[in-house]
Amino acid sequence: MKMLLAIINSDDAHSVMNHLMEAGFQITKLATTGGFLRAGNVTILIGLEDSRLDEAMDLIRKYSNTRKQIIPTTANLGVGFHPAMPVEVTVGGATVFVLNVEQFEKL
């Protein structure tokens, strides 16, 4: 048995979760915030049999897409001047951890 933890961008989370549930996966959703962009994420937890791991990973991969986004940043040019400098970053996609589960009980 495996525990899958997937951190998904908020823009992709609804689609990912719907497709996982349509495929029969039971998920637990946690609202989380990313550290770099401080953007909203969703972390989902899925307990599943080893034989279904590839199926879950394929669905997450298919419905969580990366994309480019321009974000404002500031540059310190001295003398207290901090102009906004737009920077292109890649957002979206998913970060997935797969853990072995020694025991599982649904009470």
Domain residue extents for the chain:
2-100
User: In the chain, pLDDT over 70 holds for what percent of residues?
Assistant: 79
Lowest pLDDT segment from 3-7, 66-70, 77-81, 99-103? 77-81
Is CATH 3.30.70.120 what the domain over 2-100 is classified as, yes or no?
yes
For the cut 90, the answer to whether the pLDDT of residue 20 exceeds it is: yes
- Under the banding of pLDDT at 50, 70 and 90, the label for residue 13 is very high
pLDDT band at 80; cut points 50, 70, 90: low
Q: What distance in Å separates the CA atoms of residue 90 and residue 93, rounded to the nearest whole number?
A: 9
Secondary structure string (H, E, C) spanning the chain: CEEEEEEEEHHHHHHHHHHHHHCCCCEEEEEEECCCCCCEEEEEEEEECHHHHHHHHHHHHHHCCEEEEEEEEECCCCCCCCCEEEEEEEEECEEEEEEECCCCCCC
Would you say 64 and 51 are in contact if contact means Cβ atoms under 8 Å apart? no
C-beta of residue 13 within 8 angstroms of C-beta of residue 97: no
Q: Distance between the two ends of the chain, CA-based, in angstroms?
A: 17
Which tokens sit at 39? 């953007």
pLDDT of residue 3: 97
